[in-house]
Amino acid sequence: SYELTQPPSLSVSPGQTATISCSGDNLGNKYASWYQHRPGQSPVLVIYHDSRRPSGVPERFSGSNSGNTAILTISETQALDEADYYCQTWDSSSNYVFGTGTKVTVL
Amino acid sequence: EVQLVESGGGLVDRGGSLKLSCAASGFTFSASAMGWVRQAPGKGLESVSAINAAGTTTFYADSVRGRFTISRDNDKNTLYLEMNTLKAEDAALYYCAKEGSSWSYGHWGLGTLVSVSS
C-alpha cells in the first residue's frame, strides 16, 4: 500500500515560516492536498492540487510538489496556525492516503 | 452551504455492529463521491472507505475490508457505513467527507464517536 511520511512535530516562532514535508514514492506524479486539524474541530482543507488554495484560506498557506516530496509552507505564522497538519494523496491501489501528520507548535 | 451531519455512533461490545449515517445538504449529493475517515485516540487520520457518486464503485482500507460496508441513498442524500465484527482498534471519531477537486476532501462533518468495549 502507498504511504506518506511526515515529520512528527515542528516548532516555529510567531512571524516566522513553517515548512512541513511529506514524502512518498513518486509523489510528484500525483496530486497532493493538505489539511489543518485543530483539536476538537473537523479537518480543514488548506491546499489541494499541490498548490491551490480553497476560498477563504489565507495566502500565507502555500504548497509545492515535486519528485518524492510535497511541501506545505506557512508564512508569517500566527498562534492560530497551531494545529496538526496532514498531507494526502490519491493512489489507484490505496485510494485516499493520509500522511502520518505533523504537530505544529507556535511559540 | 455544504453540510454533513453524522449520526449512529455509540458504545458497542467487541464483535458487535453499528451503522453510521451521514445526512448531506447544500450540494448535489448524487454528483459527489463521498468517504469515511476516522481518527483513533492519539492517532492520525485514516481513510476507511469511499464510494463514487453513483454508488457503483467502493474502496475499503485493508483494516476494515470484509467487515465494513459503505453505501449511499441518493434519493435521501445520505451516506452510510455499516460496521460489523467491531474490534477495539475500530474505536475512533468517524468523519463523513465530500470529495472535492483533484481527489481532495473539501468538506467534512463534525464526526460521530464509536467506542468499542472489551
| Confidence (pLDDT) at B118 | 80
Q: Determine phi and psi for A4, rounding to 5 degrees.
A: -120, 130
Q: What angle do CA B80, B82, B88 make, to 5 degrees?
A: 125
* Average pLDDT score over residue span A17-35: 97
pLDDT at A93: 85
Q: Is the pLDDT of residue B101 over 90?
A: no
CA B53/CA B60 separation, integer angstroms: 16
Judge whether B50 is closer than 8 Å to chain A, CB to CB: yes
Pairwise CA distance, residues B30 & B24, whole Å: 10
Which of residues 36 through 75 in chain A touch B, CB cutoff 8 A?
37, 42-45, 48-49, 52, 54
Average pLDDT of the residues in B8-27: 98
Task: Check whether B46 has a pLDDT greater than 90.
Answer: yes
Indicate yes or no: CB of A49 within 8 angstroms of CB of B101.
Answer: yes
Banded pLDDT at A94 (limits 50, 70, 90): confident
The predicted model gives A61-79 an average pLDDT of 98
CA-to-CA distance for A20 and A86, rounded, in angstroms?
9
